[in-house]
Chain A
Amino acid sequence: EVQLVESGGNLVQPGGSLKLSCAASGFTFSGSAIHWVRQASGRGLEWVGRVRSRANSYATAYAASVTGRFTISRDDSNSTAYLQMTSVKTEDTAVYYCTRGDDFWTGYYFAFDIWGQGTMVTVSS
């Protein structure tokens, strides 16, 4: 079965750290770009960042709101991506989704075709 499964969401204090995981199965993880998208309660979708494949040097990119605080990485041997969150703020409270996009041109125009179920991160004292 093609799927992404997030884990690691929790309650964390402002200024603290948390690491989310995204486990993949059923597709060629190593050739895919993995993105993280978050959604605060009652709000819209916000792209957080992405990690590209080995062929693209595992290049990362981030939204301005998390640059310098969040780090995305991947372990292709375990088909897992990670989102390391540090110096978290109350405004980081959201459901965090990982999602897959192509890392090379396939005619799909880099749409996000596979999504995980999400994991909840709450930043509060």
Chain B
Amino acid sequence: DIQMTQSPSSLSASVGDTVTITCRASQNIRSYLHWYQQKPGKAPKLLIYAASSLQSGVPSRFSGSGSETDFTLTIGSLQPEDFATYYCQQSYSTPQTFGQGTKVEIK
């Protein structure tokens, strides 16, 4: 199975900050990497697919980059509604696997 490792596990930031979350795959997954946002008590929501493509309706302050094994999610100018947990996921091979999550909290 492909292991997905996110860092950090949590972070504190202020409204207006730029936040960066990284995700590392245990083997080359090309661009089969996606980012999801999850708020408490809610289902995950797709933000970025194929490493860097913005899902329809997602604000442009969210961006993704990377390929093969190293990926980054950047949130520019953090907004109050962005405080949530973020997960990366690979769909390169079965079983699809998720990172352990990064909780973005208000400083």
Q: How far is the CA of A99 from the CA of B87 in the complex (A)?
A: 15
Q: Which residues of chain A come closer than 8 Å to B43, judged between CB atoms?
A: 97, 115-118
Of all chain A residues, the one with the shortest Cβ separation from B49 is A111
Shortest distance from the beta carbon of A41 to any chain B beta carbon, whole Å = 11
Q: Mark B1-34, 1 if CB is under 8 A from A, else 0.
A: 1000000000000000000000000000001111
A11 lies within 8 A of chain B by Cβ: no
Interface residues on A, range: 20 to 34
A to B contact number (C-beta, < 8 Å): 66
Interface residues of A in 81-125 (CB under 8 A from B): 97, 99, 101, 107-113, 115-118
- Contact between chains at B97 and A47 (CB < 8 Å): yes
B80 lies within 8 A of chain A by Cβ: no
- Contact between chains at B50 and A108 (CB < 8 Å): yes
- Contact between chains at B46 and A61 (CB < 8 Å): no
Q: Mark A12-54, 1 if CB is under 8 A from B, else 0.
A: 0000000000000000000000010100000011110010000
**Chain A interface, >50% SS class:** loop
Q: How far is the CA of A115 from the CA of B37 in the complex (A)?
A: 12
Of all chain A residues, the one with the shortest Cβ separation from B85 is A44
B72 lies within 8 A of chain A by Cβ: no
Given A108-B49, A111-B50, A111-B55; 6 other pairs, CB 8 A cutoff: A64-B1, A97-B44, A99-B44, A112-B36, A113-B55, A116-B43
Give me the interface of A with B, judged by CB distance under 8 Å. Answer: 35, 37, 44-47, 50, 61-64, 97, 99, 101, 107-113, 115-118
